[in-house]
Amino acid sequence: MTNTKYQTPALRAGASVTNIKFQIALVVLAIAVLVVPVPLTWAAPQERHVRIEASQFQFTPSVVSVNPGDKVTIDLTTTDVVHGLYVDDYGLNITADPGQTTRLTFVADKAGTFALRCFAPCGPLHPFMVGKLNVGPNWLLWRAMGVAGIAAFAGFWVLRK
Amino acid sequence: MMRYELTQIPWLKRLLVSRWPLFLARAVTLAGFVLTTVAGLIGSPVGSHNFAIIFVWIAWWTFLKLIALPFGGRAWCSICPIPAMGEWIQQGALVEPGGKGLGLGRQWPKRLRNVWLPTLGFGVIGLFSAVTLTQPRVTGWVLLGFILLAAVLSLVFERRAFCRHVCPIGGFIGLYSRVAPVEVRVRDRSVCAEHEDKTCVTGNAHGYGCPWQASPVSLTQNTNCGLCMECLRSCSRDNIVVNLRPFGADLAQRAGRSLDQAYFGFMMLGSVVIYSAVMLGTWGNLKTAAYNVGTPGWFIYVGVLLAFTLGVLPGLFLLAVRAGRALARSKASLKKAFIAQSHAIIPLGLMAWVAFTISFAFVKFSYVWSVLSDPFGWGWNLFGTAQLPWTPYLSSITPLLQVLALLGGLVWTSI
């Protein structure tokens, strides 16, 4: 570890410039990780058929993954009380009575991760009954993890000083 | 560090010195509190149709976490209705000082002059959070319990003992108020040194002695400053100022760091992780376990919550501190290093709560319009908004805002 107490002013100034350059490089890298588009090609759009079973207070399966452009058909059934399904950002919703199946068909033309929410008050934990729709990879999560890694590295680097 | 003195603006200083703005704001919040409690106790048992659930856990919570706390520190405490009744009885006056108050005026026990009680209180709230957040009756009883406890403690102990030493939300706000860009401080310490009367502590005809039992001259951080402006009124040397300052200015302060504060920080950070798993996760069994109090699943949930917040998280941090000491060949006490460095998690904790709040603040906010028209869920339609359907706001940018908040907290903590 370098002890700055015994450095000459010129050496300290040089170290300071290096530090600033290094910090700027980290910030630029973090911004790049957050915003640079990733060129990816998808498989040709296909039809996806998903059966979701709703019960207090979860969807099964709780996570649905499709590719951008897929035509998605969701069959919603419930095993106990009336439940609904609302797809965040797509603004689509259906409800299903116990023993009945309700169908929702849409084209997954928005990439990202979207919450699936129960749309019909179904009990005390209704506000927290959620699932997930992944349309393509969850880039936001991966990018965030990348920046978190950079932040952790920066933290170690600051401590090293 | 750069400061801008807000009290140099004459009209603003007049506003802050006057008792009426805070009194009126408190009267409004007290009226809201009464309505909320009554709605909780006698209104619809369906949470989304009851003013108590929607206003406390969506509207007020969002206001507190996204605006009042990050930008105003303990600003909420200055208008909080919970201690109002007890304080008015204690002071024997509603607005101007000079009344003959009631109360034993005892000192708060020395052993409890810390934040262990708020830590315990927050932990207990966490154990029952899935119920409290969804059952209007429970929310109503909790609010009623809080205001009665605050009143009783005001009659027994001096000043705002409840706020400083008991209130879990007060402890929460105090911890994170250190990052807020507002502070009350003395202008010149030498003036205080020569001022024998210390009217900011003892009070005078213009203002009460600090209700939070803080001495303004020794204030180095916001934790125990309730922004009530009593010292601004009672200082006969005009030596109290309200400053704007950079965010997080208190975090560099070494004073006031203690094991209870450190543990409170871990309780906050751990709780928000567990709450996120329960309320934002897709695991129905976890939600059911947290809700069904007294069942084996609930006891497992309680065990995990307590073990994670009070054991695993501080334990991991302790290991990291120990590794840091070893790498730096430091001979500092491990306990002291743990306490000192635990302050690093404050920004991360605050931003984690901000991210958690963002997850439901906008998505659920439209419930507010319907309960405004029908606060008890009895079929009223006072403002014609009772039938407005639930509409999630800003759901397309909510995940991005959450990620930015968390990353901001992590970067802030790292540096």
Q: What is the pLDDT of residues A94-131, one digit of tens each?
A: 999 999 999 999 999 999 999 999 999 999 999 999 99
pLDDT band of residue B257 (cuts 50, 70, 90) is confident
Q: Measure the CA–CA gap between B145 and B38, rounded to whole angstroms.
A: 13
Q: Measure the CA–CA gap between B284 and B290, rounded to whole angstroms.
A: 10
Q: What number is the average pLDDT over the span B9-35?
A: 97
Q: What is the mean pLDDT of chain A?
A: 87
Q: For chain A, give the number of residues.
A: 161
Give the residue from B239, B257, B275 where a domain finishes. Answer: B257
Residue B217 lies in a domain: yes
Out of A2-16, A61-75, B192-206, the most confident range is A61-75
Instruction: Retrieve residue B413's tokens.
Output: 């903590």
- B333 and B222 fall within a common domain: no
CB B4 within 8 A of CB B246: no
B169: left (phi over 0), alpha (psi -120 to 50) or beta: alpha
Of A59, A89, A124, the CB nearest to B135: A124
Report the domain count for chain B: 3
Which one of A35, A125, A126, A141 would you mutate to disrupt binding with B, by most B Cβ within 10 Å of its Cβ? Answer: A125
**Cα radius of gyration (chain A):** 24
Q: Measure the CA–CA gap between B359 and A131, rounded to whole angstroms.
A: 14
CB B52 within 8 A of CB B139: yes
- B171 and B284 fall within a common domain: no
Residue B351 lies in a domain: no
Q: pTM, whole model, 2 decimals?
A: 0.92
| Distance between B248 CA and the closest CA of chain A, angstroms | 17
Q: Would you kindly state where each structural domain of chain A is located, as residue ranges?
A: 4-38+141-160, 47-136
pLDDT on residue B217: 94
Q: Measure the CA–CA gap between B402 and B415, rounded to whole angstroms.
A: 20
A57: contact with B, CB 8 A cutoff: yes
Window 87-146 of A, Cβ < 8 Å to B: 88-89, 112-113, 115, 117, 121, 124-132, 140-141, 143-144
- B168 and B141 fall within a common domain: yes
Give the residue from B257, B278, B298 where a domain finishes. Answer: B257
pLDDT on residue A9: 59
A-B contacts (CB, under 8 Å)? 87
- B188 and B273 fall within a common domain: no
CB B375 within 8 A of CB B56: no
| Distance between B414 CA and the closest CA of chain A, angstroms | 4
Nearest to B158 by CA among B91, B223, B85: B91
Q: Which domain holds residue B401?
A: 357-415
- Per-residue pLDDT of B386-410, as tens digits, reads 999 999 999 999 999 999 999 999 8
- Per-residue pLDDT of B205-254, as tens digits, reads 999 999 999 999 999 999 999 999 999 999 999 999 999 999 999 988 87
- B199 and B246 fall within a common domain: yes
| Closest residue on chain B to A88 (Cα) | B395
| Distance between A36 CA and the closest CA of chain B, angstroms | 15
Give the residue from B342, B373, B396 where a domain finishes. Answer: B342
Contacts of B340 in chain A (CB under 8 A): none
Nearest to A153 by CA among A22, A40, A54: A22
Counting other chains too, the contacts that A4-11 makes at CB distance below 8 Å and 24 or more residues apart are none
CATH annotation of A47-136: 2.60.40.420
Residue B128 has pLDDT above 50, yes or no: yes
Q: How many CB atoms lie within 10 A of CB B275?
A: 21
Alpha helices in A79-138 (DSSP H): none
Q: How many CB atoms lie within 10 A of CB A73?
A: 14
Strand, helix or coil for residue B128: coil
Q: Which residue has the tokens 């409890």?
A: B112
Q: Measure the CA–CA gap between B333 and B339, rounded to whole angstroms.
A: 10
- B386 and B304 fall within a common domain: no
| Closest residue on chain B to A58 (Cα) | B284
- Identify residue B126 by its one-letter amino acid code: G
